[in-house]
Every structure is written in C-alpha cells, then in structure tokens.
Amino acid sequence: MPLSASCILNRSQVLDVVEEIRQLMPESVYRADELLADREAVVQDGRREADRILAQARAAADALVSEHEVYLAAVEEANALRSEVTGQTQQMRAETDDYIDSKLATFEITLQKTLQTVDRGRERLRSQMYQELAPEGSHPSDFFDARTD
C-alpha cells in the first residue's frame, strides 16, 4: 500500500522462499556444525602446539641456566684451585729458601773451619820452619807475620 507502513507481498512468492529456506536449512545447520567442530579441532591443535613450544622453551631455558650455573661453578672452582696453588707455591718457595739458606750457612761454617784449619796448618809449618832455621831462644813472630784470624 502506497504511503503507508504496510507492505503487500505475493503469497506464493513468500511460500516459495520459505520452502527454499526449509530445504537449505538442514544442510546449512550441518555445515555450521562441521565448521564449529573444525574450529574446535583447530583451536585444540593450536593449544597443543603452543603447549609443546612452551615446554621446549622451558627445557631450553633450564638447560641454558644449568649450563650457566655449571660454568659459574667451574670458574669458582678454578679460582679456588688457583688461590690454593698460589699459596702452596709461596709456602714451598719459602721452605726452599730456608733450606738453601741453612745449607749455605752450614757450608759457610764448614768453610770457616776449613780456613781456620788451613791457617793453623800453615802456622805450624812456619813454626816448624822457624824452629829448624832459627837459633835457640828467638820467637817466630820475629820472622813471620802470624795470622790470628
């Protein structure tokens, strides 16, 4: 109807459209169910894949942290060993220096005693030479410088 809010439709045309909708509807509902099922499967596959990737990432992160911790522990152990070896080396050097000093001191004493023995022996030789050469009553210091080191 012109100039009104009412509309006139051909009844046979409307019934034909309704019938077509009825015939298409079960197929559309079936396809909608398939799409929804596929959507859920895709979402589930996506979630599984995301969970797998997260698990791999966590494992890789744990491995990296573990390797880093192992590295830090190895560095700490190496520093401790280096400190220990340095201390032992210094102690061994000090002990070696003390040992060498004591041996040199002993050698010095032995050399001094040897020199004294040599000096005494030379003095005896001089004394004997003097007694053989000198007249009676004279003293060896008159002819030789006597060493009294």
* pLDDT confidence tier of residue 118, bands split at 50, 70 and 90: very high
| Residues near 134 by beta carbon (within 8 Å), at least 6 away in sequence | 140, 142, 143
Please state, in angstroms and rounded to a whole number, the distance separating the CA atoms of residues 140 and 123. 10
Tell me what pLDDT residue 134 has.
65
Which of 52 and 23 is assigned the larger pLDDT?
52
* pLDDT confidence tier of residue 133, bands split at 50, 70 and 90: confident
The number of beta carbons lying within 10 Å of the beta carbon of residue 130 is 16
* pLDDT confidence tier of residue 5, bands split at 50, 70 and 90: confident
pLDDT digits (tens, 9 = 90+) for 44-101: 888 999 999 999 999 988 888 888 888 888 889 999 999 999 999 999 999 999 999 9
Please state, in angstroms and rounded to a whole number, the distance separating the CA atoms of residues 115 and 110. 9
Tell me what pLDDT residue 115 has.
95
* pLDDT confidence tier of residue 29, bands split at 50, 70 and 90: low
